[in-house]
Structure 1
Amino acid sequence: MGEVRPGNTPKSAETLIRMLGLPFNESLRIEEALTHRSASHERGRKKPIPNYERLEFLGDRVVGLIVSEYLLNMWPQATEGEVGQVFSTIVSTQTLASIARRMDLGSYMILGKGSHSSGERENHSLLADTFESLAAAIYCEYGLETARQVLIPWFAQPLQEILRSLEAAPPREPRRPPVTPEPEAPRSRERGRNPPNYKLLLQKWAQQHFGETAEVRLIEESGPSHQKRFVMGVFLGELLLEQATAGTKRGAGFAAMENLWQKIEDGFMPDLPQRSLPKEPTARETSPTETGEALPQEIPASAESHDLLPDSSSLPVLTFVSEKNNREEEKAVET
């Protein structure tokens, strides 16, 4: 790496351009690409001079274009994934900073006093950014073809290192499409018990209140064949009461019925005319004369209680004979 001149004096931009094998033009683009923001304020006290940041934005695209084009031409049998893996490594901050060090780009950077004192010439990120701004300046001054011829050779060494590391790495297993596990049917909220028969419960509820039958229907089916999604709904006539989504029709239908029954238990009632239950027939009041029955005789309220007793003369006379008299009569007969 070259030495920076004493007093924070960088090497000239002309030296850098001639080192790259290009004819030097009196252009501010190259100096702009090498000027740090700290120096732009120190050198232009009234009006800051342009710095590398705008050119860095363009240089990022220039480097990406020439490197991706080079990889596709050099590696025609590679897949898009393989090319992308190498590309992301070769245009990384680490790789670009290593190329900038081989160019001794830090000794050409125009820094402010504070940045120079803090060692910004060896800053990893700043070196990579300055390389990109230099690529943009070469593109603007000399064209895309010249930029390609000048810059690509600097990528040869890191590219060989990347390819060797990929060859030494164990082969990756081919990616398989993700497998979505079959969703289990929703379980009862009470552990250790079988889930209720929601279909039977809903049928009884619908018949009792509306005189109709609740039905579970398919609303929507989506997704690839290995990852289907089903939307099932519970309908009362044409009215959708509840819906649910799952990986199977059965799972979605069960979830929809369970959710609806929970809502019903919480007081849900759809806005539909309810079935009117038949009234029990009221007994028709009939008079005893219509049935042919005799009217009970009324007891006068003024009658005395003894007047209600039957006449004693009409009662049968009961004669009681003692056991002693019977024995005396039997003895008399024997004698």
Structure 2
Amino acid sequence: MRLSHDLRAFQERIGHVFADPELLIRAMTHSSLGSPTRPDNQRLEFLGDRVLGLVMAEALMSEDRSASEGQLAPRFNALVRKETCADVARQIDLGAVLKLGRSEQVTGGRRKEALLGDAMEALIAAIYRDAGLEVARAVVLRLWGERLDRVEEDARDAKTTLQEWAQARGMAPPRYEVVDRSGPDHAPVFRIRARLENGRAAEGEATAKRAAEQAAARALLKEVDP
């Protein structure tokens, strides 16, 4: 099977040329376009989630041989969560080669975090099925790159840390409010303000409310506890 020019270029971006191109096509086919004759990427997504988990668990244990399970767990979660997968997908412009049904195309499916994260997991599974675990591991570690180096920072749950900081000083839990919501309905951008009982506040922005709250909490932590 001959791949389109876009998919051939995509192979160069991810650093893997498929022996079985059908696996790549399936990984990039969203369920909105799937049919009995055109399998979608949901089964690959299921497998890719497990392959990613294994690769990251092994990498974390090799990186820090003295870390306890309690220390490893939040680092692991930071590396495999959907937001991280979507971030890697954006890094390789995966959205440009996603095969979507019309409904997803008109609602901005190529930019949706959930779709990008799912497709990234499906891509990992496709590489694993095409070339085995060692090749899949090498691709994942290369694409995740510096995220492994900064995992301690990423694993820090800013909202929880800020709440603990406030409670330790006898304050009520921080409050979060939506300051602004911009962009189209299919790709909104939220600006959230985190405020402490003592009046200190900071803002954060992201394409999801939860992520914007975390960004606001991180910004406020830098102000109150540098």
TM-score, normalised with respect to structure 1: 0.44
Report the Cα offset of residue 37 of structure 1: 1.4
1:66 aligned to which of 48, 55, 61: 55
* One-letter identity of the residue aligned with 2:14: L
Report the Cα offset of residue 18 of structure 1: 2.5
CA shift in 2, pair 1:165/1:35, >3 Å: closer
Question: For each residue in 1:282-323, what CA deviation from the matched residue of structure 2 results, as whole angstroms up to 9, or x when unmatched?
Answer: xxxxxxxxxxxxxxxxxxxxxxxxxxxxxxxxxxxxxxxxxx
Report the Cα offset of residue 140 of structure 1: 0.3
* One-letter identity of the residue aligned with 2:125: A
Answer 1 or 2: which has greater helix percent: 2
2:103 aligned to which of 114, 121, 124: 114
* One-letter identity of the residue aligned with 1:98: D
Superposed, 1:94-105 pairs within 5 Å as: 94-105=83-94
Tell me whether 1:18 sits opposite 2:7 in the alignment. no
1:148 aligned to which of 129, 132, 137: 137
Tell me whether 1:38 sits opposite 2:27 in the alignment. no
Report the Cα offset of residue 26 of structure 1: 4.5
Superposed, 1:323-334 pairs within 5 Å as: none
TM-score, normalised with respect to structure 2: 0.63
Highest RCO, 1 vs 2 (Cα 8 Å, sep ≥ 6)? 2
Question: For each residue in 1:110-155, what CA deviation from the matched residue of structure 2 results, as whole angstroms up to 9, or x when unmatched?
Answer: 1112211110011111111000000000000011000011111222
Structure 2 distance, partners of 1:127, 1:50, is: 18
Aligned to 2:118: 129
Question: In 1, are the aligned partners of 2:31 and 2:41 still within 8 Å (CA)?
Answer: yes
Aligned to 1:49: 38
Counterpart of 2:33 in 1: which secondary structure?
helix
Structure 1 distance, partners of 2:48, 2:155, is: 27
Tell me which structure has the larger Cα radius of gyration.
1
* One-letter identity of the residue aligned with 2:112: N
* One-letter identity of the residue aligned with 1:161: R
Question: In 2, are the aligned partners of 1:11 and 1:107 still within 8 Å (CA)?
Answer: no
Unaligned runs of 5+ in 2: 165-226
Name the % identity. 34
CA shift in 2, pair 1:116/1:67, >3 Å: same
Aligned to 1:79: 68
* One-letter identity of the residue aligned with 1:23: V
Alignment length, in residue pairs?
Answer: 157
Question: For each residue in 1:51-82, what CA deviation from the matched residue of structure 2 results, as whole angstroms up to 9, or x when unmatched?
Answer: 00010011110000011001000111111110
Aligned to 1:301: none
